[in-house]
């Protein structure tokens, strides 16, 4: 229960996510993906915040790919995700774009692949989630660290300003 409350508080701090759908289904999607792929829910929240995507959002990249939805899953992953889901690339693209839970499941699956590729190096896996280019990784990891510290400070302020029940 305490973890679920902390997740809900953290979600309320993410404007793009909190607009996407009601908090309970979002929390369930994140917790389920985290459990299935053996990752902390907090890292999914942080990546959602860093990526700053939203349902229906397609962001064009300079390398002729696009990033899709809340976790900004790169279109280069569509064939692999389609195979993982046993779905067509067209249906996969639409789900990544329009379904929060599908996007989070795919993004978390991709993160798990990156973690495995990094042989247990957590930060190496987070870097691989974004890119295999060391300079892009370094920039992304700085963004992740900044966002982690920002969300931690916001959550700390929010919990210290709450009054106890009945008081």
Q: Model confidence over 105-141: pLDDT tens digits? A: 999 999 999 999 999 899 999 999 999 999 999 999 9
Using a pLDDT cut of 90, give the percent of the chain over it.
72
pTM: 0.81
Of the chain, the percentage scoring pLDDT greater than 70 comes to 81
State yes or no: pLDDT of 165 exceeds 60.
Answer: no
Do 71 and 53 touch, CB atoms closer than 8 A?
yes
How much is the pLDDT for 151? 82
**pLDDT at residue 96, as a whole number:** 98
Mean pLDDT, rounded, for 82-104: 97
Residues 6 or more apart from 22 whose CB is under 8 A from it? Answer: none
Confidence of residue 164 (pLDDT cuts 50, 70, 90): low
More confident residue, 167 or 62: 62
């Amino acid at each position: 229960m305490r973890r679920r409350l902390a997740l809900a508080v953290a979600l309320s701090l993410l404007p793009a996510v909190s607009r996407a759908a009601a908090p309970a289904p979002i929390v369930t999607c994140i917790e389920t993906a985290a459990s299935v792929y053996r990752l902390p829910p907090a890292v999914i929240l942080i990546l959602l915040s860093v990526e700053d995507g939203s349902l229906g959002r397609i962001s064009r990249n300079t390398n002729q790919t696009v990033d899709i939805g809340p976790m900004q899953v790169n279109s280069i992953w569509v064939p692999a995700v389609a195979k993982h889901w046993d779905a067509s690339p067209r249906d996969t693209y639409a789900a990544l774009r329009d379904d929060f839970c599908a996007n989070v499941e795919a993004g978390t699956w991709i993160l798990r692949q990156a973690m495995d590729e990094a042989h247990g190096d957590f930060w190496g896996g987070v870097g691989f989630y974004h890119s295999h280019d060391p300079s892009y990784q370094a920039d992304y990891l700085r963004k992740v660290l900044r966002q982690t510290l920002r969300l931690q400070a916001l959550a700390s302020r929010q919990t210290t300003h709450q009054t106890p029940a009945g008081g």
